[in-house]
Chains A and B, each alone.
Chain A
Amino acid sequence: MKKILCLSMMFLLLMGGYLSAQESVIEKIQKQGVIRVGMSTFVPWAMKDKQGNLTGFEIDVAKKLAQDMGVKIEFVPTAWSGIIPALLTGKFDVIIGGMGVTPARNLKVNFTIPYEYSGMSMVAHKSKAKGFSSLSDFNKKEVSIAVRMGTTAEQAARKYIPNATLKLFENESQALQELNLGRVHAVVSSAPMPVFHALKYPDKLFIPIKENFTKEPIGFALKKGDHDALNYFNNWILNMHAQGFLEEKKAYWFESKDWEELVK
């Protein structure tokens, strides 16, 4: 029901998008002196810290981008399932929200070159998924998997474990709750969250498959037809790779756990 609604909305929005006047988002940002960034909470990509401020890998990237453009930044926290329609209707200028570049999404929005790669990983319930150690163990009808709705995790689960029964949730925390209660066998989600979660509940959860089973590029998403903005963001990302900024942030947010006490 919700899905049909989203799809039909997206269709209508796309039609409306063609009619609206075109001005590069870069010019608009310069003129207004502010860049509006759409994002959604995804630990540790973007989240609220103890003081209620946004923090995370994504937030650092977006802040650096605003600083380099010489403008102020405004974050627009948006529910994940509505984030593309919100971009298309101009609720913000760009999505910097850990969005995986997929062919289906790319038909609706433009993506920059990747500024980071992510992969799908899985955390499973110790007693429920006892002895499971490969994707084929999970690929059975009686196995249920919880994922966040509309994410690449959902797509990955449908592709790699098509026979498993999927349970879709609006938020990651609900999916993990379901796992903690032992009502699903496993949760599929972007690395490194599953590993962190397994470390948090070592007596209940485990990591059945050590490596990530997908690798997906993560890019900024923006409205179609805006070549100036695409060029600007692409080159900014190239620069940041060259300067080592992205690698440094990646090491801090994805390979260390130093940030954990900022949040809780």
Chain B
Amino acid sequence: MLNKKTLKFTFIDMAVIILVIAAISFFFFRMSRVLDYKWEWEAIPSYFFFLDPVTGKLKANILIIGFFTTIKLSIWSTFIGFFLGTISGVMGAKGSFEQRFVSRIYVESIRNIPSLVLVIIFYYFVSSQFLDALYLDRWLRDSSNTIQQITGFLFARPENINSFISAIIALGIYEGAYVSEIIRGGIISIPEGQWEASWSIGLSRQKTFLLVILPQTFRKVAFPLAGQFISTIKDSAIVSVISIQELTFQGMELMSATFLTFEVWITITFLYFILTFPFSRSVAFLERKYALKQ
């Protein structure tokens, strides 16, 4: 960097900080006046972990279970999204006319309908026609305990497996459309000279693409893709409408049972934040570190 600015604390900074603090305290003051709410925070920790009276061991309660379900959902749907998005993105950038057409239809139709609608339609129509016919849940129930535990750890228990799979596919299709646009942009941004240079040393079109273009593309799009993963985590909250027992759904169940509305919402907000914030900071850090060397 050429000229590094030295940080100087000015009068304006001071004023801004004071104003922000004043605004926040006014907000909380008003809130406590208007809300007139009986806070009962002491009940919340037991919904993370509780002491099992039978075994005397600490066991995860519904908020922690929901938290991990959200992580599982995000990881699997990201895999599906990256897979679909890469195919569609490559087709959109360098495919034949028909391939570009298919890719465009996929991207435009998904990006122009609300994710909520997509998830609901997928769950009620597609999954009940196809997924239920696979009898995955029946097979799982008949299988041994070890297999049930492994799939329970990676996906979901037999009673939830069908809706879980339908949720990750729906989310994956949704994220795939955005990934597709990122990848397509990445491929297009590779200069034409790279293609010409590869051909001139005798590489075929296919090899050029796989060995020269694609690796450079992935390097370019790595950070936007990481950003997409973070938004997948946040988007995963919408599958609570199809009763996937992820963080938001568990929170709403908890509120219905205990009426601790604000405590639970605030806790959930915090849980999402500690999930996404480290990711976005580390992405920003890596971007600073590696972006220059490209």
Contact = CB atoms under 8 A, between A and B. Distances in A.
Given A77-B243, A77-B245, A82-B241, A173 B61 contact: no
Chain B interface helix/strand/loop/mixed? helix
B37 interface: yes
A32 interface: yes
A48 B62 contact: yes
A32 B65 CA distance: 27
B138 A47 contact: no
B124 A52 contact: no
Interface residues of B, number: 44
A173 B256 contact: yes
Interface stretch (B98-106, B214-222, B257-265, B280-288): B257-265
A50 B46 contact: yes
B50 interface: yes
B132 A90 contact: yes
A47 B259 CA distance: 11
Nearest to B257: A47
Given A13-B124, A89-B124, A52 B243 contact: no
Interface in A1-37: 5, 9, 12-13, 16, 32-34, 36
A85 interface: yes
Contact of A51 (B35, B43, B61, B257): B61
Nearest to B53: A51
A181 interface: yes
A171 B256 contact: yes
Contact of A43 (B50, B117, B160, B257): B257
B61 A86 contact: no
Contacts of B129: 16
A9 B120 contact: yes
B269 to A, nearest CB: 16
Nearest to B64: A52
B35 A263 contact: no
B61 A264 contact: no
B108 interface: no
A238 interface: no
B242 interface: yes
Given A74-B159, A174-B261, A50 B128 contact: no
Given A5-B120, A51-B61, A177 B43 contact: no
Contact of B243 (A33, A51, A76, A89): A76
Given A32-B138, A77-B243, A52 B258 contact: no
Chain A interface helix/strand/loop/mixed? mixed
Contacts of B59: 51
Interface in B110-151: 117, 120, 124-125, 128-129, 132, 138, 141
B121 to A, nearest CB: 8
B138 to A, nearest CB: 6
Interface size class of A (residues with CB under 8 A): 35 or more
Interface in A44-72: 47-48, 50-52
A41 interface: yes
A36 B159 contact: yes
A180 interface: yes
A47 B256 contact: yes
B142 to A, nearest CB: 9
B163 interface: yes
B148 to A, nearest CB: 13
Contacts of B240: 79
Given A176-B259, A181-B34, A50 B253 contact: no
B159 A181 contact: no
A8 B163 CA distance: 21
Given A79-B241, A176-B259, A181-B35, A12 B253 contact: no
Interface in A136-166: none
B190 interface: no
A91 interface: yes
A33 B243 CA distance: 23
A61 B261 CA distance: 28
Given A51-B52, A86-B243, A174-B261, A41 B141 contact: no
Interface string A235-264: 000000000000000000000000000011
A78 B252 contact: no
A172 B128 CA distance: 29
A79 B245 CA distance: 11
Contacts of A13: 124
The 7 closest A-B pairs by CB, nearest first: A47-B257, A41-B256, A89-B128, A74-B159, A173-B255, A52-B62, A78-B243
17 contacts: A5-B120, A16-B128, A41-B253, A41-B257, A43-B257, A47-B257, A74-B158, A76-B159, A77-B243, A82-B120, A89-B124, A90-B132, A171-B252, A171-B256, A180-B36, A181-B36, A181-B37
